Structure 1
């Protein structure tokens, strides 16, 4: 499996193929459609990411010392945002997720092209995924 850094570089490269933000939004929507969906029974209150205007559910499971994330959202752009993070971090070791930087988000220009509420939601998503990694880190060591 590719490292987080390699996957993030792929994401930056993918976004650089598009000339404008309408095309990038369309790409994000497509990413959201390919997101590994959370099981309906796991769409519970405790899995909703706080701080997002839309509803975003995330589940994390430890599989062979790596975290497998699944998610869903009731908003298509938000679903695309969480899909980007899951693409970068799912299937990785907790320690690598904890220490992963998020510079690639700035490199693709995502934060600056989101409304303030969506940008806050992005920060909340990052925090929540990293909190799952911290929780699972103790089980790996």
Structure 2
């Protein structure tokens, strides 16, 4: 299994293949379409990420050695964003997730190409995933 750093490097390389941001947005939308469906039992109020303009459901399970995430959103671009984060964090040890530096977000230029509300939502997604990892570490 790849480390968080290795997954980030892969994502940076993938985004460098595109010439402009329209192509990158399309790629994000495609990533969202490939996100495995979340079981309906996890689409509950407790799993909605606060601070997102769209509805984003995030479910985490596992233990400190491996955290597994499933997610969904009602907005296609947001679904692509959470798919990116799931790709980076899914299956990783809780300690690695909680301490991860997600430098790829800056390197691919994502933050500066999102609206302020989407950028805040992205930060809320990252915070929630790290919070789940911290909670599993504490068990």
| TM-score under structure 2 length normalisation | 0.97
Q: What residue is the counterpart of 1:87 in the other structure?
A: 87
| Number of matched pairs | 139
Query: Which runs of no fewer than 5 residues in structure 2 stay unpaired?
Result: none
Q: What residue is the counterpart of 2:69 in the other structure?
A: 69
CA distance in 2, matches of 1:64, 1:54: 30
Q: What residue is the counterpart of 1:102 in the other structure?
A: 102
CA distance in 1, matches of 2:15, 2:34: 16
Following TM superposition, by how much is the alpha carbon of 1:53 offset from its aligned partner in structure 2, in angstroms? 0.3
Q: What residue is the counterpart of 1:78 in the other structure?
A: 78
CA distance in 2, matches of 1:95, 1:64: 7
Cα displacement string for residues 5-51 of structure 1 (whole angstroms, at most 9, x for unaligned residues): 00000000000000000000000001001113221111000000000
Is 1:40 equivalent to 2:40 in the alignment? Answer: yes
CA distance in 1, matches of 2:29, 2:63: 28
Contact 2:51/2:121 (8 A) holds in 1: yes
CA distance in 1, matches of 2:97, 2:42: 22
Q: What residue is the counterpart of 2:136 in the other structure?
A: 136
Cα RMSD after superposing both structures = 1.1
Cα displacement string for residues 86-138 of structure 1 (whole angstroms, at most 9, x for unaligned residues): 10010000000011101110000000000010000000000000000000012
Q: Which stretches of structure 1, 4 residues or more, deviate above 3 A after TM superposition?
A: none
Query: Which runs of no fewer than 5 residues in structure 1 stay unpaired?
Result: none
Is 1:29 equivalent to 2:29 in the alignment? Answer: yes
